[in-house]
Amino acid sequence: MQPVLCFEVEGNLAAAEATVRTALQAEGFGILTEVDVTATLKAKLGLDTRPYKILGACNPAIAHRAMEADARVGAFLPCGLALYEEPGGKTTVCLQDPGLIAGMFDAEGLAEAATNARERLTAALQRAGTPL
C-alpha cells in the first residue's frame, strides 16, 4: 500500500484547487482546513517557494463511522491533500491513503470506513486529473 496517492491536474494551483474542490464535493467531502504553505513560509521564514497548499478534506459520515470504531482516529483527520504547482502549467495533488489509518488500529468497522474514504477520494481525484 502506498502511503500517498498522487494525481496530476491541468492548470496552475488556483485552477487545480477549484477542480479538486468540485470533485471532492461530488463525493461528499468538504474542506475543513486550509494552509497556504507558500504564504506561511514567506511570512514566517522570508522564503519564496512554488505555489503549495494543504487542504484537510472530510466526509462527515465516513469520519463519524471511523471515530465510532476508534475515537483515537480523530488525531489523523481530516484527510490531508497537498497541492503544488509544477513547471509547465500542471499541479500535482497528493492525498494520504486512508487505509494507513485503518492499519494502525485494530477496530471493527474501521477498515470499511477507510476503504470507503479511499474509494471516494480516488474517484474524485480521477475525475479531476490523471493518476501518477
- pLDDT, one tens digit per residue, over 82-116 is 999 999 989 999 999 988 888 888 888 899 999 99
pLDDT given at position 66: 94
Q: How many domains does the chain have?
A: 1
What is the arithmetic mean of pLDDT over 27-35? 96
pTM of the model: 0.90
What CATH number is attached to the domain comprising 39? 3.30.310.70
Q: Which residues form the domain of 9?
A: 4-131
In the predicted structure, residue 1 carries a pLDDT above the cut 70: no
Q: Which residues of 62-81 are buried (b: 16+ CB within 10 A; e: fewer)?
A: bbebbbebbeebeeebbbbb
Q: Which three cell numbers stand for residue 105?
A: 488500529
Question: What is the spatial distance between Cα 21 and Cα 19, in angstroms, rounded to a whole number?
Answer: 6
For residues 92 and 12, what is the distance between their CA atoms, to the nearest angstrom? 10
List the beta strands (DSSP E) in the chain: 4-10, 30-36, 52-58, 79-86, 90-96, 130-131
In angstroms, rounded to a whole number, what is the distance separating the alpha carbons of residues 59 and 24? 9
